Amino acid sequence: MTKNVRLGGTDLYVNPIGLGTNAVGGHNIYPNLNEETGKETVHVAIKNGINFLDTAYMYGPERSEILIGEVLKEQGKRDEIILATKGAQRYVDGKVILDNSPAFLKQTVENSLKRLQTDYIDLFYIHFPDEGTPKDEAVGALKELRDEGKIRAIGVSNFSMEQLEEANKDGYVDVIQGHYNLFRREAEKDFLPYTKEHNISFIPYFPLASGLLGGKYTKETTFEDGRARNPLFQGEAFIQNLEKVERLREIADSKNAEVAHVVLAWYLTQDSIDAVIPGAKKPEQVVHNLKTLDVTLTQSEIELIHSIFI
């Protein structure tokens, strides 16, 4: 039985392995998605003990929230699920406009509640900061919604360190979601010390670096999507990165695990990282991610992984 962990100072307790659902209805992110497969992926996640689901208005847009809402209605286990979603965008003439104004955020939450077919959201994030709204005012609007019971916890995503400090001026921020993985560790210099000090949970996105930390690629692997333009996947850097991943494979083999399991397990040893939310396009990937919970890293292994990617 998996022991659920507390997110920061909230009263939300989650399986440390959650599910990122941008591939569930996220047609604007991944082409040729099968929605029934996406729904089945969520069903299998819940059946296997995952209770932390992460979605967003922009996945689809809207479609991911709608599908998640359908699954929760079919499951009939809403009170057992910690449901996170994100918003801060609207479309104007086909363009995405960021809006953190209190009035817009309140309407965004109302819209998400309808799509998700629920009367409360466990964790609502401001998905992206806009340029004009004071961040403490934006979070203040979410505090009002928390007081009303429409959300249970307040999150911010993609905020700079300065924006996080402004957003948390009154101490209302519970969770921050940010870009962090073994190849991108800037958060260790500012975000992780701050979140530890303020009892805020840090949830990393892109934890497997677009698959590079999954251990499935070789020197011969080619890419035709956005990874082809990512410096991590280009030229000599790609070769060197693969060599680092191979060193992780030695640790994984010694534990009868896979590279991705070791990587995710390492994140969970870091201060403030209470949970990770790897994505999945198919049900079997969910089951694969859960094998992370069988991996226990020794202190020397934790330090070795740190040194490989420093």
| Catalytically active residues, by annotation | 59
Residue type, 173: V
Vertex 62 angle, CA 5 and 28, to 5°: 100
DSSP characters for 109-170? HHHHHHHHT-S-EEEEEE-S--SSS-HHHHHHHHHHHHHHTSEEEEEEES--HHHHHHHTTT
From 267, 185, 69, select the one nearest 277 (Cα to Cα): 267
Contact 243, 18 (CB under 8 A): no
CA distance 286 to 274: 18
Nearest to 212 by CA among 257, 164, 244: 244
Closest CA to 204 of 121, 264, 250: 264
